[in-house]
Amino acid sequence: MPTGDNSEPDRPQEPEEQQPSEAPELALLPGTERTRRFRPKLRWELIGCGLHGHELVGTDAVGVRLEDHLLVRESDGLRWYRCLRCDSWLPLAPPRSAPNRFPPGRDEIELPLRGRPLRNRYVLRLIALDRVVHFVVLAALGIAIILFAGHQKDLRSDYIRILNSLQASVGFVSSRNGFFREITHLVSLSTTKLYLYGSAFSAYAAINAIEAVGLWGERRWAEYLTFIEVTLLLPLEIYELAVKISYLKIGALVINVAVMAYLLWAHRLFGFRGGGRVDRIRHEHDTGWGALERATPVSSQLPKPPQMP
């Protein structure tokens, strides 16, 4: 019977169309981004794998567990190993006999550097090699000057005799020009000054050796020491260049300015661009298991655990 209520009866609501959830975007893997013609980009991970080989885990394991999917996967009779440095997946046949039952756990794996930390390692070691060159040259000069100071009288008389012979035979050799002027100035110095110069060169060589060792080991104190040393000598290099221009002086100045700019900008020295705190945050972001997980396919594409009956 009619109830006097003119409202339409409730209609069954149609299920709302479910929008497919967008899969989280994967981190760009080394070598997959599009290159720029005039701005080439070095793939430091690929350089590292080219020099040292891929970092694979589980090649000596008999089986693979579900929790190993981040590092090792099996499909169609092949076992795919993930390089922990460059994220390449490499197919190999499973080993017939292996000493380990399963791949090692996360707490047993030492992850290689990736991203900015890996770039910083290579650049710092290039700077360390530059410091080594400085050490060799300065140490050789310091030792040579000290040895010369110990035999200055004999060497001075020999030099004067050789110079006089050249002037008598050739006729245009002068002690006021070029190489012979520098040698004449050196032999005319007092023994005390020679020892002081030799000690100064040796001390400067020792500083460069300390910088090289610290930079090779990625020590932050070595970055500060290198920056301060290069900054203090920069006015002297500019003065020497103003007195006489040479390609060697220009090259040395350009290298030192580049070292200063890189250390200040990339390593955030003296609190620049957030300082060491931001540098540590960047390091943690680009390394560790979090970086690997960001470059791993989404969960819907991972193998599912078997359903319990």
Whole-angstrom Cα distance, residue 97 to residue 239?
A: 69
pLDDT tens track for 121-139:
999 999 999 999 999 999 9
One domain for residues 212 and 107: no
Per-residue pLDDT of 172-219, as tens digits, reads 445 455 555 667 777 777 888 889 989 999 999 999 999 999 999 999
Which tokens is 233 given? 């000598």
* 82 and 171 assigned to the same domain: no
Instruction: Please indicate, yes or no, whether residues 234 and 96 belong to a single structural domain of this protein.
Output: no
d(CA 123, CA 259): 9
Query: pLDDT tens digit string along 47-100?
Result: 999 999 999 998 999 888 888 888 998 888 889 999 999 988 999 888 888 888
pTM to 2 decimal places: 0.75
Judge whether 138 lies within some domain: yes
Q: Do residue 123 and residue 246 come from a single domain?
A: yes
Amino acid at 114: R
Same structural domain for residues 201 and 155? yes
Q: How many domains does the chain contain in total?
A: 2
pLDDT at 225 (0 to 100): 96
3-state class (DSSP) for residue 51:
helix
| 125 lies in the same domain as 190 | yes
Q: Specify the residue for token string 């003119």.
A: 6
Tell me the residue range of the domain where 76 lies. Answer: 55-112
Q: Quick check: is 304 in a domain?
A: no
What is the token pair recorded at 219?
A: 């020590």
Task: For strands 89-92 and 78-82, give the pairing.
Answer: antiparallel
Is residue 15 a part of any domain in this protein? Answer: no
68 belongs to a structural domain: yes
Judge if 82 and 219 occupy the same domain: no
The CA dihedral of 118, 119, 121, 124, to the nearest 10 degrees, is -170
